[in-house]
Structure 1
Amino acid sequence: MSALPHRLQIGLGILVAVAILGTVGFMAIEDMNFIDGLYMTVITVSTVGFAEVGGPLSTSGRLLAMALIVIGAGALLYTAGLAFEFSVETLLMGRREAKRLHARIDELEDHIIICGFGRVGRDVWENLHDGAADVLVVEAREEVVAEALELGALAMVGDATHDEALVAAGIERAKTLICAVRSDSENLVIALSGRALRSDIFIIARALETEAEKKLYLAGADRVVAPQVVGAQRIAALAIEPDVAEFIDFVVSGRLVEMRIEEMDVTAESALAGRSLRELDLRSKSGALVLAVVRENGRMSFNPDPSEPIRAGHAIVAIGDSDQLDRLRAIAEVASAYPQS
């Protein structure tokens, strides 16, 4: 909501002052009650010309009425003009902002769509918006979208259970769809619609009820997260191995600034394709440590066999600081970038 311009605030203040002074004046001069005094002030300032209360005014009452007409009517016209100007500017500004928003959305590529900006959706956005990928929030409630925009989020009004909202969010160019609304049934519809619109998009869905997890997978979700289950697992991990659990939390949340975990795809052109970890010796060449290899079927091999070749279509999961991961990415992206021993 835009703040009222200073001039408009002054105009409204003058009108309030005129209403108070006129009411008090008629009460004192013409011995009227509050309602009659306010009525006389309103019809005088608005120049409506209704009958005077209690018969003709006295000379002092007429002088007060003339003063109210000159000052009050002038203030009313001045304020009405400013209010009209403010309304037109707000309307035009809203249209310009809407056009600018649509233009930004149309430019998005490989972005992440978050459906819902409740407690979970907001937390997800807060963890993603400083990252490398663009994030777009789709939320049905206009007041919540306004909050998201004030926080700096790229957000649009739309019901994500409808295909047109997902299309407007650029789902055909997005890399990930996150279903984080407050209803399992709506998340189910969003996952189903997203999978129908894009067969290759990665879909993550939130589940409130345990029995909804299987249905969300059947609807097309690649991963389903039940916050209450994750919370229970974390509590159990903290109870058994608190130091290890806290270290993982630090790395995953990014609070351990110097360390990050990142997944990198291996293409046919990659220097990694067809070579084993032992042959690549990535640890000494990049400084990053490979934790796992993700196979074509999505199966993740932790602490992978160093003699087993990495194939095109695989992905590696590595840990390191920003410089180490950048060196590893440079090696992984193109064959010519691979440093020779």
Structure 2
Amino acid sequence: MKLKKNKKIRKIKNNLIFQYYEDFFEVLGEFRLPLFLLVSVLFIGTFGYMMLSRGDFINSFYMTIITVATIGFGEILQNSDSKVGRIFTSFLSIGGIGFYTTSLTVLVRAILKRDILYLIKYINMLESIQKLKNHIIIISFNDITSKIIDSLRSNNIDFVLLEERKELEEKIIKNYSIRYYIIGDIFSKEVISASNILAAKGAVIALDDSIKRTAVLVSLRLIRPNKEDFFIYVLANNDEEAEKYKNLGANAAIIPSKIIASRLSSYIFHQTYSFVSELLDKISYGEEKEIDIIEINVDNNSVLVNKRIDQLTIRKKFNSTIIAIVRNEDLIVSIKPDMEILPGDRLIIFGKTKNLKDIQNTLKDNQTQLILN
């Protein structure tokens, strides 16, 4: 049963690529007639000159090439300057002209029908997307997502942009040089799955229309139902809409106007210590690169359980500080060295970004390194 499910997922995931391959081979199919004409003209010409020269294949083939190509190096083959030879050469030249005009017509038609270079580039891009891991899927390109893209780039995080408006493709490529993008029906499983959603870390939905946001949210959550494994952040217009998105499976719904108002208010109310306010803002919004704050959840199996703060290597080895502990929804900011860590605690740690990443990696690989020997 599991094997059948995996095959079904793989089939959906590769469906969009398959469609572009079909378009590519359809364009290549336009060149079958010119190729057939070329082979026919070369065969007839070579065979005819071989009959005239009594079996000289190399010179017969060469004579055919210079005749069809209208190079005109003269009658170099035996008997090619005879009446029969010149009549044959004349008809072969007419056949060469027919070949060129037909090929040109087919070439122009193929280019006008679909840009073959574009297809090759797009197929290669779709194939590259399938190799991504822990990337972010961004749905819809606008002023907000353009800033998100800048932030992801500065942090070396891969992303795939899904956009339904074909007219934005040139802007996406030329102005923003976005490496991975898919233009198409963002509500379809083919397009969503082509973004390699099964290997993605999360998604940001920034569509203008609330109905479209709802439809995409439901589609994403059906494919990736676990909120912990795959986050979804959605833009909302108001609190009621935000609550609806959360009920449908969004990890969080962000109201842009509310965020802007809160940020401006923080500057108004904290003028006397604007540096701290601005620093916390930068950390919250990912604008600060050197310093960050992380949250570590302590589960029942963690080596941190029942350990005192002064037994940890977080300060001595990683040069970071536990600034608070969230316990039963209460925020403890007075952290004492002899305080014990309990199951369910959330440690709020402040430090340099590199050191905090080392702490997170240590938690994944070998938690005992966080405890003093």
TM-score (norm 1): 0.64
| Deviation, structure 1 residue 128 | 1.6
The runs of 5 or more residues in structure 1 that have no matched partner are 1-76
The partner residue of 1:288 within 296, 316, 320 is 320
Query: What is the alpha-carbon distance in structure 1 between the residues aligned to residue 368 and residue 290 of structure 2?
Result: 28
1:166 is aligned, of 189, 192, 198, to 192
Question: Which whole-Å CA distance do the structure 2 matches of 1:227 and 1:324 have between them?
Answer: 31
Aligned equivalents of 1:132, 1:331: Cα separation in 2: 21
Instruction: Out of 146-155 and 116-125, give the one that drifted further.
Output: 146-155
In the other structure, the counterpart of 2:234 is: 205
What does residue 332 of structure 1 align with? 363
- 2:254 alignment counterpart: 225
Is the Cα contact below 8 Å between 1:145 and 1:156 reproduced in 2?
Answer: no
Task: Show the counterpart of 1:20.
Answer: none
Alignment match, 1:175: 201
Counterpart of 2:37 in structure 1 is none
1:144 is matched with 168
Which residue of structure 2 lines up, in the alignment, with residue 193 of structure 1?
A: 219
Distance 2:220 2:240 in 1: 21
Higher relative contact order (CA 8 A, sep 6+): 2
Letter of the structure 1 residue corresponding to residue 161 of structure 2: V
Deviation at 1:179, TM superposition (A): 1.0
Shift of 1:223: 0.3
Q: 1:323 to 1:120 in 2, by over 3 A?
A: closer
Segment of structure 1 superposing worse, 207-216 or 254-263: 254-263
Matches within 5 A, 1:1-341: 84=108, 87=111, 91-150=115-174, 151-153=176-178, 154-200=180-226, 201-242=230-271, 243=274, 244-263=276-295, 272=304, 275-291=307-323, 301=331, 303=333, 307-309=339-341, 311=343, 316-333=347-364, 334-335=366-367, 337-338=369-370, 340-341=372-373
CA contact (8 A) 1:331 1:339 kept: no
Q: Is the 8 A contact 2:324 2:335 kept in 1?
A: no
| Cα separation, 2, equivalents of 1:294 and 1:126 | 32
Equivalent residue letter for 1:97: K
1:169 to partner: Cα distance:
1.4
1:161 alignment partner, SS class: coil
Q: How much has 1:139 moved relative to structure 2?
A: 0.7
State how far apart, in whole Å, the 1-side matches of 2:231 and 2:113 are: 41
Deviation for aligned residue 1:88: 8.2
Secondary structure of the residue aligned to 1:286 is coil
The CA deviation string for residues 217-263 of structure 1, in whole angstroms up to 9 with x for no partner, is 12111101000011111121111014133122233345444213345
* Residue-by-residue CA offset, 1:310-337 (whole Å, 9 max, x unaligned): 65x8765433224422442343231354
Counterpart Cα distance in 1 of 2:334 and 2:111: 64
Give the fraction of aligned pairs with identical amino acids, expressed as a percent: 21
Compared CA separation, residues 97 and 316, structure 1 to 2 (3 A)? farther
Contact 1:203–1:221 (CA<8 Å) still a contact in 2?
yes
- TM-score, normalising length: structure 2: 0.59
Q: 1:124 to 1:254 in 2, by over 3 A?
A: closer
